[in-house]
Amino acid sequence: MREKMEIFVPGRLCLFGEHSDWAGWYTNIDASVCPGKAIVTGINLGIHASVERSERFEISSINKEGKKVTFSCEMEEEQLLRYAEENGFFSYCCGVASYIMENYRVSGISISIDKVTLPIAKGLSSSAAICVLVARAFNRLYRLRLSTNGEMSAAYYGELRTGSRCGRLDQACAYGIRPVSMIFDGSDIKVQKLKVEKNLYWVFADLMSKKDTKRILNDLNKCYPFVKDEKEQMVHDALGKDNIAIITKAEEAITRGDAVEIGKIMQEAQALFDQKIAPASPEQLKAPKLHEILDDPKVKELSCGGKGVGSQGDGAVQLIAETEEKQEALVKYLNERGLQAFPFTIPSSHSVRKAVIPLAGFGTRMYPETRFVKKAFLPVFDEKGQVKPVIMCLLEELDDAGMEEIILIVGEEDLEAYREIFDNPLSEEHLSKLPSRARSYEMRMSRIKKKLRYVVQKERRGFGHAVYQALEYVGGDPVLLTLGDFVYRSKEAMSCVEQTVEAFKQNAGTLTVSVKPVPLDQVMHYGVLTGSFESKEHKILKATGMVEKPTVDYAEDYLGVEMFGKDQFFATFGLYVLTPKVFELLGEEIRKADEEGSQEEIQLTTVLNRICEEDGLIGVNIKGESYDVGIPRAYYETMCITGKLGEKDD
């Protein structure tokens, strides 16, 4: 059976710095030209496709009229290049395929585009998205080991084979739904991922008017490479030093998640464009429809600011709102005005405010105790020697780490048991008999109770399936995952949860797995990561792979970590910070299993490995211990150890 993969590539939007990509190329000719710089982001609209290997190059899609169209040809370089130059419906795809064929040893692929939510020719780089999709399909199916930059380059050079005058920032959609800062210095491109402290609520709208992008580019390119008059000097300044100043401020505001400040900078950028760039192409860049929308009192009321999109002109407008509610109202208003408006949100890249605890297991290894008491309610000692259920140790640590929502994945038969404990306060009589410390604890439980959300897992189809049940509450946010049968004890001021979240923050929102060192004879009990540490402190492990419960022989041969030889390996500690892509890929795995009628369990490790290969994954070496309560012997040792810790603290 051929390997089949699901791929989603978003459209991209240039937030700041349009035209600076091609302008920056002219530093190759004139050293006085300032390098270009832009901030670009992927959006939640894009192209969904299924891909698999084939002997030919095959692609099917839906055209503008909603009809299915197909293409097929031999996987032969000259033939692909000829189709690319014909400027047909599938020319971009053929251009990328010919580039891949020229540079890599591959056979063909079959691409079935299942859904397109991306508007065509509206400044969101639909052509770049399809080019990235083709490059990514070859990369994944043939394991070419291209980085994201490599996929982006293949897409760019492939699109150029069609005669397209695409900009060099278009293929930034390869980086997914996240903002990146790009520098264009001659032929060199540097990309830096931007952190985002808070969700940012944007609106994109098609102005339902027209512009001539080729005319705009022709007019502006006449100003390069050498300045001949004052008008051309203004264009050089606006796309050079003035643009750099705006981008610098915008990077800081986006990192802070400051929508109000971003709106002001957008207005400043639009004013600069109108003053210094528009005169070079006055017929196309006067843009009366764009300015009518930007000056609309209702738009000003609902947004913090806005500006044109892409090459500018009367093509599209982008706006930023301060809240999700204003974003929704703005979309509604613009649509009522006859535009086509779409919301998109840039999620916080490293603020973790939600946590998930899977609790739906039957606890069979702890039977018969779990016939009477759910595993999550088994008693353990806390660091002060108090006896409390496992679930409360977890909830307290999550509460202390600032989690605002805690999603409990429970079995259908257990929902009422959890609700009865957390939703029903003690009677006044019972409270009155408690010491003051215990009454204070009841108040804390009452506060934690407000953060709890319950999700019922009706089927047990593996750990990955359990995690996926939280999708409704997780949305597009990063989320902390903690196992329901572990308790954690830190050896430093920051808790184990806080150490994990901090590593996620410091590493630009990269998928994060907490790890701990284990001897070789223990590897078969854990998920084991391999890779290399980035510093001599051995804090952050740049992972290259992860294997669930490997054999001793396999771990010894393949899972070693540089500098630790074969004596020490790094196993999962029980805490993870999952990115939105985890849930996207889990959904793919579940749908694939449903279509094939597979009874195999959906494993989280499968998805983590895929993200590790495509986007990167880090392990954070936790200064602390995790104690298991899910196995009788481990639970006994946990009770003995935590009990002694409590005695020591007392």
Asked if residue 479 lies in contact with residue 578, where contact means CB atoms within 8 angstroms, the answer is: yes
Query: Which of these, 408, 414, 407, 406, lies nearest to 362 by C-alpha position?
Result: 414
CB atoms within 10 A of CB 66: 6
**Residue 341 predicted with pLDDT over 90:** yes
pLDDT for 649 equals 47
| pLDDT tens-digit series, residues 195-243 | 787 889 999 999 998 888 889 999 999 999 999 999 999 999 999 999 9
Query: Which amino acid is it at 584?
Result: E
**Residue 550 predicted with pLDDT over 80:** yes
Rounded to an integer, the average pLDDT of 257-261 is 95
pLDDT grade for 287, boundaries at 50, 70 and 90? very high
Can you tell me the distance from the alpha carbon of 534 to that of 148, in angstroms, rounded to the nearest whole number?
A: 20
Asked if residue 168 lies in contact with residue 25, where contact means CB atoms within 8 angstroms, the answer is: yes
pLDDT for 39 equals 95
Say which range, 161-175, 252-266, 283-297, 313-327, has the weakest mean pLDDT. Answer: 161-175
Q: Which two tokens stand for residue 327?
A: 């974003």
DSSP 79: H
User: Higher-confidence residue: 364 or 470?
Assistant: 470
Q: How far is CA 169 from its chain centroid?
A: 19
**Residue 166 predicted with pLDDT over 80:** no
pLDDT for 391 equals 83
pLDDT for 566 equals 73
Can you tell me the distance from the alpha carbon of 327 to that of 343, in angstroms, rounded to the nearest whole number?
A: 7
Secondary structure of 208-232 as H, E, C letters:
CCCCCHHHHHHHHHCCCCCCCCHHH
**Burial class, 200, CB count within 10 angstroms (exposed 0-12 / middle 13-18 / buried 19+):** buried
**Residue 293 predicted with pLDDT over 70:** yes
Say which range, 96-105, 129-138, 554-563, has the weakest mean pLDDT. Answer: 554-563
User: Higher-confidence residue: 644 or 261?
Assistant: 261
For the chain, the average pLDDT equals 85
User: Higher-confidence residue: 361 or 36?
Assistant: 36
User: What pTM was computed for the model?
Assistant: 0.59
Rounded to an integer, the average pLDDT of 424-439 is 72
Q: Which two tokens stand for residue 288?
A: 């009366």
Rounded to an integer, the average pLDDT of 18-28 is 93
DSSP 90: T
Asked if residue 168 lies in contact with residue 177, where contact means CB atoms within 8 angstroms, the answer is: no
The helix (run of H) or strand (run of E) holding residue 468 is: helix 463-468
3-class SS of residue 72: strand
Rounded to an integer, the average pLDDT of 296-313 is 94
Asked if residue 132 lies in contact with residue 173, where contact means CB atoms within 8 angstroms, the answer is: yes
Asked if residue 385 lies in contact with residue 393, where contact means CB atoms within 8 angstroms, the answer is: no
**Residue 71 predicted with pLDDT over 70:** yes
pLDDT grade for 463, boundaries at 50, 70 and 90? confident
Asked if residue 484 lies in contact with residue 355, where contact means CB atoms within 8 angstroms, the answer is: no
pLDDT for 68 equals 85
Say which range, 269-278, 400-409, 419-428, has the weakest mean pLDDT. Answer: 419-428
DSSP 496: H
User: Higher-confidence residue: 87 or 644?
Assistant: 87
Can you tell me the distance from the alpha carbon of 355 to that of 584, in angstroms, rounded to the nearest whole number?
A: 17
Vertex 578, ends 574 and 579: CA angle to 5°? 170
**Residue 132 predicted with pLDDT over 70:** yes
